[in-house]
């Protein structure tokens, strides 16, 4: 289970993102899952480009982390960032058109 990570391996991001340098140290300390999610979020962001505008508020992907926890990638309807339910939090919209990260959901309640 406790797979030893070959830490500090100079493995480059497969997708050639330029901004990896700034995260190098961080990544080494992060749990693999979180680092992995960050990468995936970035990939979504790259992949979707301006389509993020159209897809905001939608869920991109669900993944089962374990028996009880589900991880959800989505685009926040307000800040239009690619978020993950475990990292940014998810205020899920049953209609799947207005999903928001916890921060934005809170902001809305306060501002409303
Ligand atoms: Zn947000």
pLDDT digits (tens, 9 = 90+) for 5-46: 655 545 555 555 444 444 444 444 445 688 899 999 999 999
pLDDT of residue 98: 96
pLDDT of residue 14: 52
Ligand 1 center from residue 101 Cα (angstroms):
4
Ligand 1 center from residue 15 Cα (angstroms):
25
Q: What pLDDT digit, counting tens, does each position of 87-100 carry?
A: 999 999 999 999 99
Q: pTM higher than 0.75 for the full model?
A: no
Neighbours of 43 (CB within 10 A): 15
Handedness of CA 111, 104, 80, 99 (dihedral sign): negative
Whether the CB-CB separation of 43 and 52 falls below 8 Å is answered with: no
């Amino acid at each position: 289970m406790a797979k030893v990570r070959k830490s500090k391996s100079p493995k480059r991001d497969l997708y050639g993102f330029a901004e990896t340098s700034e995260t190098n140290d961080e990544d080494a300390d992060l749990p693999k899952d979180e680092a992995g999610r960050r990468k995936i979020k970035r990939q979504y962001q790259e992949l979707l480009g301006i389509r993020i505008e159209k897809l905001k508020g939608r869920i991109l992907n669900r993944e089962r982390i374990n028996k009880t926890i589900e991880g959800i990638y989505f685009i926040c309807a307000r800040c239009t960032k690619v978020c993950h339910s475990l990292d940014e939090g998810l205020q899920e919209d049953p209609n799947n058109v207005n999903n928001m990260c916890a921060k934005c959901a809170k902001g809305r309640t306060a501002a409303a």
